A and B are shown apart, each in its own frame.
Chain A
Amino acid sequence: NQLIAEQSRTDELADAFDLQEELDNRDRGIQFEMHLVLIPPGRNRGAIISQYYNKTLRLRRRRQSKPQVRDFSRSSRPSIRGYGLQADTTDSEDREDRKQEQLVNNLQKMSVADRERMLREMPLSKPCFMFRVVYLQALKQRLYIRLTFIPSLQLWKVSLKKVSGRFGSGVLSYFLFLRILLFFNIFLFLVMSAFLVVPQALYPPEPPANRSSFSGLELLTGAGYFSDSLMYYGYYHNDTLKMSCKNSTQEECEAKSPSYNMPLAYFFTIGMAFFITCIILVYSMSKSFGQSFKIDKSRSALAIKTFCSWDFRVTKKSSVKLMSENISTQLKVLTNTPLKPLSQKLKRFALQFLSWIVCITVTIGCVVGIYYFSEYRHGQRCSLVGEVSLLDLPVLVSVINLLLSFLFALCLEEYTSPSVRTYVALGRNLVLKVSVLGVLCYHWLGHICWETFVGQELYRFLIVDFIFTLLDTLFGELIWRLLYDKIFKKKRKPEFNIAKNVLDLIYGQSLAWLGVLFTPLLPAVQILKLFLLFYIKMSSVMMNCQAPRKPYRVTQMTTIFITLLCFPSFLGASVCVTYTMWSIKPSESCGPFRGLDTMFQAGKRWMHQMEDQNPKLSLLTKAHLYLVENPFFLFVGAGIFLIGIYFHSQVIDGQRQIIALLQKHIKNVGHLPVCMHSSLFGLIGAPDVPFILMNLVDLLLFLRRERIKSS
């Protein structure tokens, strides 16, 4: 205040550091501003600085009730000292107005040349505005931490830090993905056990006469002792469960004992579990997509590579050395990209086309083979030798997956860009797995008590997939390292193939989601599997692998993996489950839905029962009839959704164009040695408009005026 009064009296420039000290005592947030603002020698620089301060002080006080304690300057933590100091509150409004008047007076007293120089050197950015944004965002972040995820984020923290210290963010993202899947499965398991498993366990039905005894093979095949247990759909009762009455009469018993409608519970639990999982997945996918989406197509690949490629998490010396080599290779590649002649491009394109044809043909061949093999086994079901032969289909599928993924990896040589390679490899593996699963789903619907059979098959698939992952880890990583060490005598170790491993995880999770309807305890199996997998993979990576040599864009790849988890994996599973519940007749002899036409009828029957008991609920049943069962409503809903997406994409296009335009104008302004007094006076009068936008808008107006004048 004193300083500004001085200025208006003497028209002398206050030293920026004096001003800084004064502002120091009032509000620390402006300090960084001082360092960043290019402070040219010249008159009334302090006036501009004070004006910045006042404007932001007003903005800040309007939005926040807490005193500003964050500090961005080099003296980063005297904020404890500053904590007791409050921002000026009561009579500062009057002071503000007086200050404004003084400022305006100051500026009007300046000579034209001085004003020009000062405005030219005024920075266009606005760190103070950003300050407020940052503080609000910081509040949000802290709230997020303290909400629900504190215990879950602490799991395996030390191991993850070790992995990231040695291998960087890429390999870390695999383990983080594993942890996310674990939490999904824990959630599913809790829901299932609370609503399905525990109630059924309390009222066990009589065991059938020919029940086989427990032998160790059940853990692999899921049949035998497990067939008539809580694990599978067939065990669950198809009517309301009631406590058995021994002491009281029949009527009293029925009146008093709690009842549990098992078919309804089954139907609604599965529906709710899938619905909540869908919401969580879509939310995390959109969040991660928002982080990695770039509105402006990247023109500054080299600059980004220079400033953002160093992974600060890596702490091991050899990994750091590798990373330096990586970065220098990438920089060299980016600076020397020679133009390819047309003939070479055509040749490359032809090779890519050929490799795609080969891969798709092989995929179709294998899928057809699996289909015929499963038909043949179905025909032979009566004369099965032993239970171990139940495993042959899962083993065949896993072997095909493994061999074909090697084949696809070999066909990748004609793609030069590493990111394109990863996408192509992912795409091919995805096509294979989706088609195999699709064929199997189609085939499984022809058995007696087919639900239990399907549940058993999926259990077997899950177990065999786990065994094959272990074998792959063993041979892919351990044996290769021993080979390199002893036979080839090279210093290199095998690399951890992140994309392939994540795809395996997604495949396992799709199996789990498919099987949840038929095997309520499958999430428990998946939890065990993921737990074991974490420790095995962690030790294997630490012992056998080296940090990746190729660049790996963590954020983009994480977004892709979550998208893959949501779209083919979860969507496919939920479509299958929905189709099963909606249209397929449940088997007559087992399960909670025997006797009904579709599983969905359990819900409908309950609605009718409720309506009979309580006629006032007819509105609810009518709503159910017209909204849920009528496909027209779904069509309209989907149509509205698509229109919304279209509008949003148009908005993004428009924003892209605006950004390009503004960037051009900024470039032009940088070369103009002309004054811009209109912008300064525009600022003083409009406190609510963000500073930078105002600047740019004024810029545009000014330039247009200049162009008109010059033309």
Chain B
Amino acid sequence: MGNKQTIFTDEQLDAYQDCTFFTRKEILRLHGRYHELAPHLVPMDYTNEPDCKLPLALIVDMPELKENPFRNRIVESFSEDGMGNLSFNEFVDMFSVLSETAPRELKAIYAFKIYDFNVDNYLCKEDLEKTLNRLTKEELTPEEVDLVCEKTIDEADLDGDNKLSYSDFENMISRAPDFLSTFHIRI
């Protein structure tokens, strides 16, 4: 039913459906969005799995990400090389995790990665400072930023090492009922 598409094989679409939270139609639509970011780079035929990656600058220009202060970190967390170059698989994965039906634990994992600016698997004070500055667009004075960082670490740090490990972060997220609804990008 519907028109026969030639972008993906049926096995590929099935695999995508299993691995993400999207339906077939949405995956094809995502491919359309990916393609229109760079029509000359992205092939229309993905049946032989071409190795095509789009650079960070193109991805963060999407209207859904353009005004987000964490857009660079979001794209970097989902890229294999850590530099923000996304293949189509990674692109789909990014929006799948950020979709409405992704479970809380999965979102918590990626939220942790996004806020971990220096990629050391801990949210240390510098990470928190950078997060706050991006959240408030530098409206807080440095003293206030310092105070907020200290209080945050004080509240959330359970094992007393002055930085937030993943378990501290997850513990805190589990107490925030709004996390699921705010950590969501609709595409």
Question: Which residues of B does A touch, CB under 8 Å?
Answer: 12, 15-19, 21, 23, 49, 63-64, 66-70, 77-82, 87-90, 92-94, 98, 101-103, 105-106, 109, 111, 113, 115, 121, 128, 131-132, 135-137, 139-140, 144, 147-148, 151-152, 155-156, 158-161, 165-167, 169-170, 172-173, 175-186
Contacts and interface: CB of A to CB of B under 8 A. Distances in A.
Interface stretch (A1-9, A68-76, A641-649): A68-76
A74 B86 CA distance: 10
A153 to B, nearest CB: 9
Contacts of A79: 15, 19, 89
A324 B136 contact: yes
A404 B35 CA distance: 55
Looking at chain A's contact residues, the main secondary structure is: helix
Contacts of B166: 36, 123, 125, 127
B173 A555 contact: no
A315 B64 contact: yes
Contacts, number: 213
Most-contacted residue by chain B among A36, A306, A314, A321 (CB, 10 A): A306
12 contacts: A72-B106, A76-B78, A76-B80, A76-B89, A76-B94, A80-B16, A80-B19, A134-B105, A306-B131, A321-B137, A335-B148, A555-B180
A292 interface: yes
B135 A327 contact: yes
Contact of A310 (B88, B135, B160, B175): B135
Most-contacted residue by chain A among B18, B77, B177 (CB, 10 A): B177
A77 B87 contact: yes
B136 A327 contact: yes
A244 to B, nearest CB: 45
Interface of A: 32, 35-36, 38, 66, 69-72, 74-80, 83, 123-125, 127, 130, 133-134, 137-138, 141-142, 144-146, 161, 164, 169, 291-294, 296, 298-304, 306-317, 320-321, 324-325, 327-328, 331-332, 335, 553-556, 663, 666-667, 669-671
Nearest to B135: A327
Given A74-B80, A306-B135, A309-B182, A555 B177 contact: yes
B185 to A, nearest CB: 5
B89 A302 contact: no
Contacts of A302: 148, 151-152, 155
Contacts of A332: 140, 144
A163 B52 CA distance: 34
B8 to A, nearest CB: 10
A38 B140 contact: no
A331 B148 contact: yes
Contacts of A325: 139
Contacts of B178: 304, 308-309, 553-556
Contact of A72 (B12, B109, B144, B151): B109
Nearest to B14: A83
A335 B148 CA distance: 7
Nearest to A157: B186
